[in-house]
């Protein structure tokens, strides 16, 4: 991560506006830039800088794997603190892992798994269990709630 410069009014406008959706079209960056009254190349450069400087951790679409015919689940592992980073690396080596995080809980490594087909969930979780030598607990979604969180800067 490079050195952070302070956010200016345009950076704030970009972050605030793009949390609410990104245009779909032939030139989506040009369309979004027009709404923000800046140039397309300026928007792209600013997004790159915001990512490089750590103001944004990710910029991209969120897909509903289940709507697309895939599988999605939340899983957890109980792992010693001394092995947490190594096990997280093993988990992250699987392309199906969307993200993981540690929690202050006996099950201290949690991760989200998205697969092309629902039946692949059990396969990947079994493979992670074999690789780590640890029990992997599956917590499939029972009900979904849409919150629509937007953080204004």
- Selecting among 12, 99, 103, 117, the annotated active-site residue is 99
Closest-CA residue to 63 (of 40, 96, 31): 96
- Burial string for 8-30 (b: 16+ CB within 10 Å, else e) reads eeebebbbeebeeeeeeeeeebe
Residue 105 among the catalytic residues? no
Which are the catalytic amino acids? 99
């Amino acid at each position: 991560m490079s050195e952070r410069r302070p956010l200016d009014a345009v950076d704030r406008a970009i972050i605030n506006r793009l949390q609410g959706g990104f245009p779909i079209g032939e030139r989506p960056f040009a369309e979004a830039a027009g709404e923000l009254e800046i140039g397309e190349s300026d928007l792209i450069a600013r997004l790159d800088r915001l990512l490089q400087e750590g103001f944004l951790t990710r910029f991209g679409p969120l897909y509903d794997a289940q709507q697309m015919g895939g599988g999605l689940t939340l899983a957890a592992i109980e792992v010693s603190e001394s092995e947490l980073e190594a096990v997280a690396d093993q988990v992250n080596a699987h392309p199906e892992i969307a993200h993981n995080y540690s929690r202050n809980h006996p099950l201290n490594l949690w991760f989200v798994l998205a697969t092309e087909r629902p039946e692949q969930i059990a396969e990947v979780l079994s493979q992670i269990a074999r690789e780590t030598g640890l029990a992997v607990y599956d917590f499939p979604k029972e009900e979904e709630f849409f919150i629509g969180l937007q953080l204004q800067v």
